[in-house]
Structure 1
């Protein structure tokens, strides 16, 4: 059983990896002179690595019934939003800087996550907005401002 502490560490490491890939792939986009092409390269290599991980961790093949129960839109919308979001990162990082882009991007993620969790959007668990969350969001706004005020 994985403890919440271990999950928090993994989430932190995931955030570090996302910032690293943003910086590396932004450089690729600059050298290619096209952030969307950098996204294509990143997603292609991600597909290769994901395939390798699946092959080493594969437990069972989904049944035809399980596959048919998956709503059609779930096969492509996550990838669509991923390409848009990542391409926007690669486009804006060289213009804004990585700390500005990541702080503003995380702010957008947090705002959406709090609202989506409050209403249970996307079949997410309900997480009501509390005073503690409002204080946290307010603190993040102050942090984003402090990071970005020159």
Structure 2
């Protein structure tokens, strides 16, 4: 751990180097990684270093900023000055100065719980909520009222 760096609460560091001024605030696992100077690793990030047969390394450059909940699937290299968006799963190298974003737009699969988990407490709760929404009367705005 370099000078002026910060390791927050619930951070585990194993077989890794962390450069001067780098911050790993909290809820993060840094395993088999080399992190450069003045970088910031977002909360709840994980350096995924084990592929089922062997451990691999991740290299993070200097002045890197990573969003919360970034997963680094080793072996990957994050170039100097790069960023990652929150929730990104990094499976490929990120060039210097690039922004890595792996998530697309959120997609909601309607009625999934009713189809896949019928009879579960979640299905019962969602059914009640749907029924209540259908029972809500819709009233047109009162044209006679003035604000």
Q: TM-score, normalised by structure 1?
A: 0.21
Larger relative contact order (CA 8 Å, sep ≥ 6): 1
Higher helix share: 1
Max radius of gyration: which structure?
2
